[in-house]
Amino acid sequence: MAHRPKRTFRQRAADSSDSDGAEESPAEPGAPRELPAPGSAEEGPPSGGGRAQVAGRPHRVRGTRGRGRGRVWASSRRAAKAAPRADEGSESRTLDVSTDEEDEIHHSSESKDDQGLSSDSSSSLGEKELSSTVKIPDAAFIQAARRKRELARAQDDYISLDVEHTSSISGMKTESEDDPESEPDDHEKRIPFTLKPQTLRQRMAEESISRNEETSEESQEDEKQDTWEQQQMRKAVKIIEERDIDLSRGSGSSKVKKFDTSISFPPVNLEIIKKQLNTRLTLLQETHRSHLREYEKYVQDVKSSKSTIQNLESSSNQALNCKFYKSMKIYVENLIDCLNEKIINIQEIESSMHALLLKQAMTFMKRRQDELKHESTYLQQLSRKDETSTSGNVAVDEKTQWILEEIESRRTKRRQARVLSGNCNHQEGTSSDDELPSAEMIDFQKSQGDILQKQKKVFEDVQDDFCNIQNILLKFQQWREKFPDSYYEAFISLCIPKLLNPLIRVQLIDWNPLKLDSTGLKEMPWFKSVEEFMDSSIEDSKKESSSDKKVLSMIINKTIIPRLTDFVEFLWDPLSTSQTTSLITHCRVILEEHSTCENEVSKSKQDLLKSIVSRMKKAVEDDVFIPLYPKSAVENKTSPLSKFQERQFWSGLKLFRNILLWNGLLTDDTLQELGLGKLLNRYLIIALLNATPGPDVVKKCNQVAACLPEKWFENSAMRTSIPQLENFIQFLLQSAHKLSRSEFRDEVEEIILILVKIKALNQAESFIGEHHLDHLKSLIKED
């Protein structure tokens, strides 16, 4: 046998789904098959064109099946390329198929698909010249193969692959039946071992197709991936559906197969059918009657329930209880809905008022700091000018000059107002410089009036039962009187402060605790209503420790103290005596008279006191400034430097007095640290040491001692004063020594009285004995 040449199949540039489909298509049992035309005869020697068509057609069938189960996009783009490629690849496939067919002819007794392969073994006329020496089987083997093929054709087990030339095949079959010897033997068939040379057109077409495929493959990679995933999902779904269909068909066929026709059924007549129908009807009627009985039972239950409800409603106690609880539930729900709707508007109005007051407070604070800065700078330049030259003129810019004129203008107005009021003992520097220009005051009043108008309109569309605190408390009071057990079990005393919070906040919008003329808490309508509610609770409750007694404390804790804390942190000026006095008054009412619930008030109270201490520390650090000038510059009491130093000293002393006004609310340690440690010893004592001893110094010392709380010196056994006053006591003794040598002996007596007041008795006795002032010993004994 001649040596087979190497196969030259060209690899297709397609995806894996095409090749898989092509390989699986012959093995699928459900593949469509073409039956041979009736009357077809045995195959004759096929022509070369038939061989090419037979070799090309299986390729197209397999490609179509592969694309049907593969990607969708390939079916439209590659169909146009299949036709030219069928002819181009026919020669390369012919070699493979014909070679395989020769092997299967030699082993025809073992192959069932002999006829299909024999049809593919036809070759072209031009290829007959390419023959080779093969092994020739004997006549018996050839006859056996012929009989097997005829038997297969008789049993319709023959599939014609060349559907386009059925007429020629049938003609060949007729001739073969007439003359069985006319069919060529296997040894007479020629087997081509070389490829058919391609024409120029075929080569050009193949090159253009390969180039187009290469360019399109890169652009289609991403689309292939997505489409492949979609096809795999559809395959999975399709396989499951086909499996279900096969299972259903298999079960149906099995049932059909299991059917045994030999089994005989009993005879059926009209009587039997009638009997069965009557039986079925009887069962349905019984079921219907049972359903009717159940329905009647349910109807009776509904009627009974309705009558029970009516009886309960008609009964006196239970009906009243039910109606009251129901009405109370509806009332509380409506009240909560109303407050939830109004709370946003209330918060906006509160924010507007707070922003307006904050703007005014920041204006005063910034103006005071700017004026202090410009005036001190001007006086510092003036003192330097006095030291270097005799002329007192100093160059001042326009802004500084305008500020100085404004300061002096306001001071002049305050002096005139004090003269008219008869207050002649006022000291410069103790006034609260909180006057606003007329234009700014008009704008402030207008903005405040607009906010108060909005406040009045908050509940103008609400009934009194939902916005009047007295009416709301009356509802809960009725509940407490009628059903006290359920009232206390519901913890209504914990809910009332939360319900009244928005309504109280509305009344507090125009309340400024920093003004002396502000309304006191006890005079407010909500305060009186809550007190009446608590008083009635004490009368109605059998228990002395009623939870309603804590309602007012909880309202103060949840509503009033947070508002006071905001005023202290952002609006309070510790240098203002009027603001401090008013604030202390309100804080005493809140923290002393209404601290029955210590555990609940403690946290809010501590927060408020911390805010007060923090604000005073800030004032000491930022607002106290006492300059020190040479004694020669301040000896003249009418000079600008002396006047400025005096004003700043009295301003610091004013803050010292305001800090000590918190005695009883703040702890003694806190006040001593702030007033004595940070302010007296750090600023006031230094200013006194820089002054010339005399009546003015003694007057200032008297004012310092007058500010000290008497509670600190109530212990009669005290012989020495508190440690923080040690520097002040030493200054008093030093001043007394200097004054005792001059004509100011009356001032020495005043200093001794100051020492006795602050319980510096040991120091006073030592001073009297040292200077032989026996007439002053009576002052110590009287104490």
pLDDT tens track for 119-167: 444 444 334 444 444 567 788 888 888 888 888 776 654 455 544 444 4
What's the token pair of residue 260?
Answer: 């045994």
Give Cα separations from 157 to 32, 45, 113 (angstroms): 14, 21, 9
Give the SS3 label for residue 663.
strand
**Per-residue pLDDT tens over the stretch 630-682:** 877 777 888 888 888 889 999 999 999 999 999 989 999 999 999 999 999 99
Q: Look at 753 and 198; give whichever has higher pLDDT.
A: 753
Burial level of 685, CB count in 10 A (0-12/13-18/19+)? middle
Q: Are 637 and 618 in contact (CB under 8 A)?
A: no
Q: Are 447 and 469 in contact (CB under 8 A)?
A: no
Angle CA 767–772–778, to nearest 5 = 75
- Rg over alpha carbons for the chain, rounded to the nearest Å, is 59
Using pLDDT thresholds of 50, 70 and 90, give the confidence band for residue 46: very low
Q: Which of 735, 753, 754 has its CA nearest to residue 744?
A: 735
Using pLDDT thresholds of 50, 70 and 90, give the confidence band for residue 236: confident
HEC assignment per residue over 303-320:
HHHHHHHHHHHHCHHHHH
Give Cα separations from 738 to 671, 702, 748 (angstroms): 31, 17, 9
**Per-residue pLDDT tens over the stretch 346-393:** 999 999 999 999 999 999 999 888 888 888 888 888 777 665 554 455
Angle CA 602–603–608, to nearest 5 = 95
pLDDT at 447: 95
Using pLDDT thresholds of 50, 70 and 90, give the confidence band for residue 747: confident
pLDDT at 739: 85
Give the SS3 label for residue 392.
coil
Give Cα separations from 211 to 8, 216, 676 (angstroms): 20, 9, 101
Q: Are 759 and 751 in contact (CB under 8 A)?
A: no
Q: Maximum distance among all alpha carbons in the chain?
A: 175
Query: What's the mean pLDDT in 251-274?
Result: 68
Distance from CA of residue 445 to its chain's centroid? 41
Q: Are 782 and 716 in contact (CB under 8 A)?
A: no
pLDDT at 289: 94
Indicate yes or no: pTM above 0.85: no
Q: Which of 666, 769, 645 has its CA nearest to residue 711?
A: 666
For the chain, the average pLDDT equals 75
List, as one string, the DSSP characters of 411-468: HHHHHHHHHHHT-----TT-S------HHHHHHHHHHHHHHHHHHHTTTTTS-HHHH-
Distance CA 334, CA 466 (A): 8
Q: Are 694 and 744 in contact (CB under 8 A)?
A: yes
pLDDT at 333: 94
**Per-residue pLDDT tens over the stretch 470-490:** 999 999 999 998 888 889 999
* Alpha-carbon dihedral angle through residues 348, 349, 350, 353, given to the nearest 10 degrees: 120
Q: Are 385 and 391 in contact (CB under 8 A)?
A: yes
pLDDT at 151: 81
For 426, how many CA atoms within 13 A lie in the half-sphere containing its CB?
17
Using pLDDT thresholds of 50, 70 and 90, give the confidence band for residue 537: confident
Distance CA 724, CA 524 (A): 42
Q: Look at 580 and 84; give whichever has higher pLDDT.
A: 580
pLDDT at 387: 56
Using pLDDT thresholds of 50, 70 and 90, give the confidence band for residue 540: low
Find residue 663's DSSP bridge partners: 666
pLDDT at 538: 63
Check residue 134 and report its DSSP letter: -
Q: Look at 695 and 27; give whichever has higher pLDDT.
A: 695
% of the chain residues with pLDDT over 70: 67
Using pLDDT thresholds of 50, 70 and 90, give the confidence band for residue 508: very high
Using pLDDT thresholds of 50, 70 and 90, give the confidence band for residue 173: very low
pLDDT at 230: 84
pLDDT at 773: 75
What's the token pair of residue 564?
Answer: 């006071």
Q: Look at 587 and 193; give whichever has higher pLDDT.
A: 587
**Per-residue pLDDT tens over the stretch 405-435:** 888 888 888 777 777 777 666 677 777 777 7
Query: What's the mean pLDDT in 209-219?
Result: 70
Burial 271-283 (b: 16+ CB within 10 A, else e): eeeeeeeeeeeee
pLDDT at 694: 85
Q: Is 624 left (phi over 0), alpha (psi -120 to 50) or beta?
A: beta
Distance CA 148, CA 154 (A): 10
Give Cα separations from 726 to 228, 680, 681, 720, 780 (angstroms): 96, 11, 9, 9, 19
Q: Which of 517, 606, 618, 511 has its CA nearest to residue 573?
A: 618
pLDDT at 213: 73
pLDDT at 746: 80
User: For the chain, which residues make up each domain, given as ranges?
Assistant: 317-385+396-420+437-538+545-570, 624-782
Range with the poorest average pLDDT among 297-306, 347-356, 566-575, 709-718 = 709-718
Highest mean pLDDT among 102-111, 207-216, 762-771: 762-771
Find residue 666's DSSP bridge partners: 663
Angle CA 573–577–582, to nearest 5 = 85
Q: Are 455 and 506 in contact (CB under 8 A)?
A: yes
Q: Look at 303 and 204; give whichever has higher pLDDT.
A: 303
pLDDT at 738: 87
Query: What's the mean pLDDT in 513-528?
Result: 90
What's the token pair of residue 43?
Answer: 């195959």
Range with the poorest average pLDDT among 91-105, 143-157, 224-238, 727-741 = 91-105
**Per-residue pLDDT tens over the stretch 689-735:** 888 888 889 999 999 999 999 888 888 777 788 899 999 999 999 98
Sorted by sequence, the CB contacts under 8 Å of residue 545 that are 6+ apart come out as none
Q: How many CB atoms lie within 10 A of CB 539?
A: 7
pLDDT at 34: 40
Q: Look at 19 and 484; give whichever has higher pLDDT.
A: 484
Check residue 710 and report its DSSP letter: G
Q: Are 175 and 41 in contact (CB under 8 A)?
A: yes
Burial level of 98, CB count in 10 A (0-12/13-18/19+)? buried
pLDDT at 763: 87
Q: How many CB atoms lie within 10 A of CB 325?
A: 13
Distance CA 249, CA 647 (A): 113
Burial level of 239, CB count in 10 A (0-12/13-18/19+)? exposed
Statement: residue 574 has pLDDT above 50 = yes
Distance CA 407, CA 46 (A): 128
Q: Is 10 left (phi over 0), alpha (psi -120 to 50) or beta?
A: beta
pLDDT at 76: 41
